[in-house]
Chains A and B, each alone.
Chain A
């Protein structure tokens, strides 16, 4: 491979673009403490994966995979690969369903703990665990 293979670079630019997008979403999920923001990051990640899939199915000079209405198919016309479209179509709807499930969990967490920040949640969890241990050790101590 030469140092500047323009064909190669331009031909792979789409993958790199989507990977950068994916990593943006990933960064939000890992680095941000707010749960709603994590879900948004997950959505960005998800959409980037969708676009990566669709871009694999694209054929240069191809058109959308819909035949003319009279079903007289012109063999000269190339169509893009319809299979990724089908997979991603269903994935989007399932994605929004799972997103709403995540948001519902967040609402419940907020109602139980009064916060949706990861750090504060961990702190509260720790306190509850410590209290539990104290209680149990008292019970064990009485028995002993």
Chain B
């Protein structure tokens, strides 16, 4: 991949934009199409494109596998933790009014934000995990065979 100069420069430019777009989709999901699932996938794509154009070692130096595994678990934990918190605050499981007792509607906003964050982190983690798992095996074909 040493000689693909244009590909590498364009990728470097794109990755920042893709990540920014993922964050926009994540936190603007209340107002426009988007949300945790889409944002998670787009964020994962940013890492995957880096892995494809450069190499698996490069992307794993930025984002080591153990971080990704922890991310996948942490997202589910954030989601379930929100539910457990509202349970201990005296509300029903996942009743977001618990997050802001004086303004139940604001509580809904916080709740949705937190839960979507959990979903996004999990989806990113799992997608990157899957990508790592597939590419870390030695390929039988070399590049020229395609």
Task: Judge whether B27 is part of the interface by a CB distance below 8 angstroms.
Answer: no
Residue of B nearest to A99 (CB): B130
> What 0/1 readout, one digit per residue, does chain B (99-116) give for beta carbons within 8 Å of chain A?
000000000000000000
B68 in the interface (beta carbon within 8 A): no
* B134 x A66 contact (CB < 8 A): no
| A100 sits at the interface (CB 8 A) | yes
**Total cross-chain contacts (CB, 8 A):** 23
Within 8 A of B (CB), among A81-137: 89-90, 92-93, 97, 100, 103-104, 107
A69 in contact (CB, < 8 A)? yes
Contacts of B130 in A (CB 8 A): 97, 100, 104
Number of interface residues of B (CB under 8 A): 13
Size category of the A interface is: 10 to 19
* Residues B104-146 near A (CB distance < 8 A): 123, 126, 130, 133-134, 137
The complex places the Cα of A47 from the Cα of B133 at a distance, in Å, of: 25
Contacting residues, chain B, for A100 (C-beta < 8 A): 130, 134
Given contacts A100-B130, A104-B133, contact A90 B37 (CB under 8 A): yes
Which A residues have a C-beta under 8 Å from some C-beta of B?
A: 64, 66, 69, 89-90, 92-93, 97, 100, 103-104, 107
> Could you name 23 residue pairs across A and B whose Cβ atoms are closer than 8 Å?
A64-B33, A66-B31, A66-B32, A66-B33, A69-B31, A89-B35, A89-B37, A90-B37, A92-B37, A93-B37, A93-B40, A93-B41, A93-B123, A97-B126, A97-B130, A100-B130, A100-B134, A103-B134, A104-B130, A104-B133, A104-B134, A107-B134, A107-B137
Residues of B whose CB lies within 8 Å of any CB of A are 31-33, 35, 37, 40-41, 123, 126, 130, 133-134, 137
